[in-house]
Every structure is written in structure tokens, then in C-alpha cells.
Amino acid sequence: MLNILIGGISGIVSAMGMGGGTILILCLSLFLGKDQHIAQGANLVFFIPTSIVSIIMNIKQKLIKWKTGITVSIFGIIGAIIRR
């Protein structure tokens, strides 16, 4: 039951734009005794569907600047390859 409550609270906070992942990691670590790496992994899994929904909504509302997004993505990929 505590898992559902923590997921619900972090989802609500995330929907309000305040970073639900912070609450999710904190609650999983402190209240459920999960290792920090497990909590961070769970946060990443939680982040993927919420970010996909956000992208879809922003595309529908035409709020994405494609030229800027593509440019930033290309340089981000190049930077990640160089950093590796």
C-alpha cells in the first residue's frame, strides 16, 4: 500500500512540475529501505512514460521549437560521444 501511495504522491508532484523524482527517490530510500541505486533506477523507469506523454502534449499544442531541439540534440549526442 505504501508503494502505491508513494507512486501517487510523486506522480501528482511531477504533474505540477516540481520534480516528482526527488520525492520518489527520497521515499523509496527512507521509508521502504531501498538502496539509492535501486531508487534512482526506479525513478528513471518512472520518468520515461511521463516524459513521453509530455512530449506528445507539447507536439499537439505546437510548443516545440524543432530547429532548436534538433540542434541541441545533435550537439548533446556529439558531446556524449566525446565524453565517453
What would the pLDDT profile of 25-55 be if each residue is shown by its tens digit? 888 888 888 898 998 898 888 888 888 888 8
Considering only CA atoms, give the Rg of the chain.
16
- Mapped onto helix, strand or coil, the DSSP state of residue 47 is helix
Element (DSSP H or E) covering residue 46: helix 36-60
Helix 2-15 vs helix 20-30: crossing angle, to nearest 10: 160
Please tell me the total count of domains within the chain: 1
Find the domain containing 15 and state its range. Answer: 2-83
* Residues 68-84 pLDDT 10s: 999 999 999 999 999 87
Tell me if the pTM is above 0.85: no
